[in-house]
Amino acid sequence: MKYLLATLLFYTSFLIASPLPGIPATEPKNEQPSVVAQLSTESSLVKTRASRWQEFTFWVMQKQREYHRSLSAKIEALNEQQTLQNTWLLLLLSFLYGVFHAAGPGHGKAVLTTYLLTQPEKLRQGVQLSFMAAMLQGITAILLVAFLVHGLGWLAKEALASVVYIEAASFLLVTLLGLLLVLRGIKQLLPVKPSLQFKPLKSATSVSSSHAPVSLQLSSTSLASSACSHCGKAHHVTPEQLSGGSRLQNLSLVFSIGLRPCSGAVLVLVATNLLGLWWVGVLATLAMALGTALTVAFLAILAVKARLLAKRLIKLQSKALTRLSALLVVLGGCFILMLGVSLLVESLASSGTRSLF
Amino acid sequence: MRRYRMLKDVLLILLLLLITATKVNAHPHVWIDLRIKPVMNEQSALLGLEQAWRFDPFYSLVLIEELEKGGVAAELEERYDQLAWEIVKNLNSVNFFTQGYFLQAASQWGQVTEATLLRRGQRLELRFYLPLAQPLLLKDSSFNYQIYDPTYYIEMLHATEAGLDKTGLTAGCQLELKAPTLSSNLIEQALALDKTETSEDPELGKHFAEQVTLGCLE
């Protein structure tokens, strides 16, 4: 796991260090240097006022815009010259597009990080979940375009417009996930209550800071079960409930993120297909998904680390850890629920209204 | 204590991520390369702007497919014409995304009577002539224009090559293009833009628009 973390860090620092690695040949005239140059000089002026975060997000946005442009330039080039080199460059570009698109704001990451902050998932699971979600996102896009365009013979324009409906489905799942979390948090709060008076005292005295690495491994599941060894009843109920509920939750997490195809991927698929390069588009979409997975996994690691750290710190002081973590589940669930509802309402309200000119 | 610091950092990053979480896809999704030719008469009066909008490759591809599959091949040209006028009709309601200023007043546009949609390789180009409702005498003051989609869904910039056509200018007149200057406030607003929603600031696109000034020496 440490190696994975190190690799991820290496990749991100590599990406940040080199703005357009390996792609010096993409048509420079498409880059609109005037604006970019203006922005960079301006950004140095406002550096004192603007927070680093804002700058970072804006930088990501600029990168997304750049990659969006160079993607289409690359597909044009590939259409004119179907060389292996052009194909590789397109795949590399798609991968980077995925990395940056995921680094920008998006609902998937909010759901994932909140989920991982509140759930007893381990690092490995967090990474697995994010990879599954991101890859599913790419596969959804491929299946969607394959079905609509190849299967039903829809126009590219119609296929692009259909994304709105699938988005709505994914937002519905986000809402559902939030609801699940809230329910589970409340359930967790109720039965554990009586044992609370004994347990925290015990753990506070027995776990000293030197034992911290051991307690790091403990998820709230195992905590709950150890707590419940005093009160037989909950011991049987909680772990099974948790694992059963977790699977459903994990599934709805993966689908709530993965069901929503990246609009960039759909665009690339539709465009390559129109040029008779369907399989290149499929590969590009998978590369994009891989890039997304990398960023999302990095976020997942951050979320899990944060939760573990918080747990370790709180444990040394707080006397109501179990209750607190259950409360956190409820709060996180509420956040995801609200996010899902607002996205759903927004998407239903605006569906179909967006057409150019 | 080191752990506290680490926790604080990690939590801060996550918090920031969550704050911006609902704001999906902040960058423009379609772009148009502009080529603009101001048309003047011998009396240094500006008559209108000849505009050529080249759509980005993705959007062009999608439109081309729609045009080609929209009916029999023999009527392809008519469909191009039809689409051109449809776009012009829609643009009419948004002032052709073209904001002109003269003597601190917004310019009024006349009726567009010429419009064509052409295919240039893999890209589509819309050409039309946007006349001023009244010719503007540029002797005392200069004329400014900006072309932008207020929602910033479309990014509209002058083409880096031959974006400004000076062949229609009277002698002694000059065209100058100024790139947008962005403040951190605007950056924040741009980031808050959802791809399906219009911004709180109805003129967000304006801040990302180039400004062209046409002035004449006298």
pLDDT for A313 beyond 70: yes
Q: Which of A38, A165, A356 best tests the B interface by mutation, with the highest count of B CBs <10 A? A: A356
Q: What pLDDT sits at residue A76?
A: 83
Number of domains in chain B: 1
Who has greater pLDDT, A67 or A214? A67
Q: What is the mean pLDDT of chain B?
A: 83
Q: Is B81 domain-assigned? A: yes
Taking the domains of chain A in order of start, what are their residue ranges?
2-350
User: Which residues 23-62 of A are in CB contact (within 8 Å) with B?
Assistant: 29, 32-35, 37-39, 42, 46, 49-50, 53-54, 57-58, 61-62
Query: Is A69's Cβ below 8 Å from some Cβ in B?
Result: yes
Between A185-189, A287-291, B23-27, the lowest mean confidence (pLDDT) is in B23-27
Between A27-41, A136-150, A289-303, B175-189, the lowest mean confidence (pLDDT) is in A27-41
Instruction: Quote the tokens at residue B86.
Output: 């449809």
Residue A212 with chain B: CB contacts under 8 Å:
none
Q: How confident is the model at residue A353 (pLDDT cuts 50, 70, 90)?
A: very low
Contacts of A69 (CB under 8 A, 6+ apart): A30, A31, A32, B31, B56
d(CA A229, CA A272): 60
Q: How confident is the model at residue A196 (pLDDT cuts 50, 70, 90)?
A: very low
User: Could you tell me what percent of chain B has a pLDDT over 70?
Assistant: 78
Residue of B nearest to A357 (CA): B90
pLDDT for B166 beyond 80: yes
Q: What pLDDT sits at residue B188?
A: 62
- Under an 8 A CB cutoff, do B57 and A37 touch? no
**DSSP secondary-structure letter at B121?**
T
Q: Is B24 domain-assigned? A: no
Q: What pLDDT sits at residue B183?
A: 67
- Asked whether the beta carbons of B36 and B165 are under 8 A apart, the reply is yes
- Under an 8 A CB cutoff, do B10 and A61 touch? no
* Host domain of residue B79: 31-216
Between A73-77, A303-307, A345-349, B58-62, the lowest mean confidence (pLDDT) is in A345-349
pLDDT for A140 beyond 60: yes
d(CA A327, CA A318): 14
pLDDT for B30 beyond 50: yes
Q: What pLDDT sits at residue A328?
A: 81
User: Which residues 9-28 of B are in CB contact (within 8 Å) with A?
Assistant: 10-11, 13-14, 16-18, 20-28
**CA torsion through residues A23, A25, A30, A34, sign:** positive
Q: Is B17 domain-assigned? A: no
Query: Is A104's Cβ below 8 Å from some Cβ in B?
Result: yes
Q: Is B129 domain-assigned? A: yes
Contacts of B99 (CB under 8 A, 6+ apart): B106, B107, B145, B146, B147, B148, B206
Each residue's pLDDT tens digit, B108-117 = 999 999 999 9
ipTM > 0.90, yes or no: no
Q: What pLDDT sits at residue A30?
A: 38
pLDDT for B24 beyond 50: no
Who has greater pLDDT, A352 or A26? A352
Q: How confident is the model at residue A149 (pLDDT cuts 50, 70, 90)?
A: very high
For the CA atoms of A235, A239, A242, A245, the dihedral, rounded to the nearest 10 degrees, stands at -110
Between A108-117, B1-10, B47-56, B130-139, the lowest mean confidence (pLDDT) is in B1-10
Residue A32 with chain B: CB contacts under 8 Å:
157, 160
Q: How confident is the model at residue A109 (pLDDT cuts 50, 70, 90)?
A: confident
Between A79-93, A184-198, A229-243, A274-288, the lowest mean confidence (pLDDT) is in A229-243
